[in-house]
Amino acid sequence: MTTHDVIVIGAGLAGLRAATRLARAGRDVVVLEAADRVGGRERTDVVDGFLLDLGFHVLNPAYPAVRRWADVDDLDLRAFPVGVRVRRERTTAELRHPLRSPGSIPRTLRSRMVRPRDLVALARWAGPALLSPQRVIAGDDRTLRAGWNRAGVHGPLRTEVLEPFLAGVIADDSGMTSDAFVRLLIRMFALGTPGLPASGIEALPRQLADRARRAGADIRLSRRATDVRRAARGVEVNTDGADTVTARDVVVAVGPDVVADLIDVPRPATKGLQTWWFSTDAAAPASALLSVDGRRRGPIVNTAVMSHTVPEYAPPGRALVQATCLLPRDPGSRATETAVRTQLGLIWNDADVPAWQLIRRDDLPDALPAQPAPLRTTSPPRISEHVYVAGDHRDTASIQGALVSGDRVARALLADR
């Protein structure tokens, strides 16, 4: 039986980054992935000519880890418009990035959605993260609700824009998420222009997997790890329907839903999201902006015509629309197709929504690790002798967190050896 230097369980972003660093350091690395392809939650399916990500994703090229370890140009990133469209009681309003679209400022002020005192309060809340993110991480933390109250963020800017928009970003509308975490996210939105690869979000892990293979890592697909146990000189990993794999060390880089099944760690708390994918003809809503319902007239937290930003997501003559809702643990409280279609018609002011074709619904109960206050940005990489653990549930709930966690674990393992 061959013994390797390191087994990495999971070919998501964290596992691929760890495998690449370890292989480049000369280690014999085997990656075991349960699925038939790499990516984990960053997955893209082709359905009837449409590209459907596993839930609604965006990739922010401003993330330092993305700039450092991915080739953004090679991903052929298509940028979303920087702004948000808000359905109000009688009208709609568009809020765009004031520095990138200065001509939109008078229109924003005329909408009465943003008052001068609200802008001052927003700057008071978000400014420290823009100027010194490390101070925000190291400083006192509180809930998002308490942070907004403390900074004086009130009025329509909060209730009609920030609350519904961020509910879809952090998968939480309770106001109990870490204030520091949300301010760091807003910093990234301010600095970057989020978008998606032309071939779907899975292009990112595919690129990372190519780099891991070129570094020498052996990525084995359809190899579900069933248990991890100590061996005479390291660890043994049993896989479903395949041979036992042995190594000196193991990096467990699986999602929060299964990590506790493999090693002795508490199951991380998570938040759920549900995404509905609809197709329609070329007469889809015209706006490419992410849209929210400031009136909260249904379960949708955001919706967008994906093919306006990434034309490759829909076949010629068709359009792809996503609608994302929070996913409660109680199945009886989850959104229904009728409620989603009704609210879509209100948000887009489009009477043709009943004729849109439902392509797929993605229910993701573990879409994001929860980020309660106070914010914990790192967890110990090693949990026992020979056993390390990586993932965004060990850092921050983001692509940035997954990549940083994988790299941190690899560095710790190399230092231990």
pLDDT band at 405 (very low <50, low <70, confident <90, very high): very high
pLDDT exceeds 90 at position 178:
yes
Per-residue pLDDT tens over the stretch 190-211: 999 999 999 999 999 999 999 9
Summarize the confidence of residues 358-385 as an average pLDDT. Answer: 95
The H or E element spanning position 141 is none
3-state helix, strand, coil in the chain (%, to 5): 35, 25, 35
Q: List the one residue out of 374, 416, 395, 393 whose CA is nearest residue 263.
A: 393
Report whether pLDDT(396) > 80: yes
User: If we measure between CA atoms, which residue out of 148, 140, 156, 159 comes closest to residue 186?
Assistant: 148
Q: Comparing 339 with 100, which gets the higher pLDDT?
A: 339
Note the pLDDT of residue 119: 86
Task: Kindly list the strands in the beta sheet with 318-326, ordered across the sheet, starting from the edge strand earlier in the chain.
Answer: 92-96, 83-87, 290-293, 300-305, 318-326, 270-281, 357-369
The length of the chain, given as a count of residues: 417
Q: Is 16 helix (H, G, I), strand (E, B) or coil?
A: helix
DSSP 260: H
Beta strands in 67-158 (DSSP E): 77-79, 83-87, 92-96
pLDDT for res 109: 61
pLDDT value of residue 377? 85
Residue type, 81: P
Query: Stretch 216-239: mean pLDDT, rounded?
Result: 94
- The stretch 348-355 carries a mean pLDDT of 90
3-state secondary structure of 25: coil
The CATH number that domain 44-79+195-201+270-369 falls under is 3.90.660.20
Least confident range of 164-168, 298-302, 329-333: 329-333
Strands 29-32, 218-220: parallel, antiparallel or unpaired by DSSP? parallel
Let me know the angle formed at the C-alpha of 245 by 242 and 247, rounded to the nearest 5 degrees.
Answer: 170
Is pLDDT at 379 greater than 60 in this prediction? yes
Classify 3-43+202-269+373-416 by CATH class. alpha beta
Encode pLDDT of 62-119 as tens digits.
999 999 999 999 999 999 998 999 999 888 988 877 656 666 566 666 667 788 888 8
pLDDT at residue 303 above 90?
yes
Q: Find the mean pLDDT for residues 39-55.
A: 97
Q: How far apart are CA 102 and CA 107, in angstroms?
A: 10
Domain boundaries, the chain: 3-43+202-269+373-416, 44-79+195-201+270-369, 114-191
d(CA 33, CA 40): 9
Q: What is the pTM of this model?
A: 0.95
Give the strand pairing for 290-293 and 50-53: unpaired
What burial class does residue 38 get, using C-beta atoms within 10 Å of its C-beta: 0-12 exposed, 13-18 middle, 19+ buried? Answer: buried
Q: Please give the mean pLDDT across all residues of the chain.
A: 94
Distances in Å between the alpha carbon of 96 and those of 80, 137, 413?
12, 27, 45
Q: What is the pLDDT of residues 322-332, one digit of tens each?
A: 999 999 999 88
Please, what's the b/e burial string for 67-101 (b: 16 or more CB within 10 A of its CB; e: otherwise)? eebbebeebebbebbbbbbbbeeeebbbbbeeeeb
Instruction: Identify whether the C-beta of residue 108 lies closer than 8 Å to the C-beta of residue 96.
Output: yes
> pLDDT, tens digit, for every residue of 244-295?
999 999 999 999 999 999 999 999 999 999 999 999 987 889 999 999 999 9
pLDDT of amino acid 144: 98
Mean pLDDT (whole number) for 324-349: 95
Neighbours of 118 (CB within 10 A): 19
Residue 369 has pLDDT above 60, yes or no: yes
pLDDT of residue 101: 62
Provide DSSP, 315-383.
Answer: -TTEEEEEEEEE--SSGGGS--HHHHHHHHHHHHT-TTGGGSEEEEEEEEEEEEE--BSSP-----SEE
- Tokens representing 214 are 């070129």
Does position 123 have pLDDT exceeding 80, yes or no? Answer: yes
417 secondary structure, DSSP code: -
The sign of the torsion formed by the CA atoms of 223, 224, 230, 235 equals: positive
Half-sphere exposure of 248 (CA within 13 A, CB side): 11
Cα separation, 230 vs 214, whole angstroms: 30
Q: Find out whether 410 and 22 touch, Cβ atoms under 8 Å.
A: yes
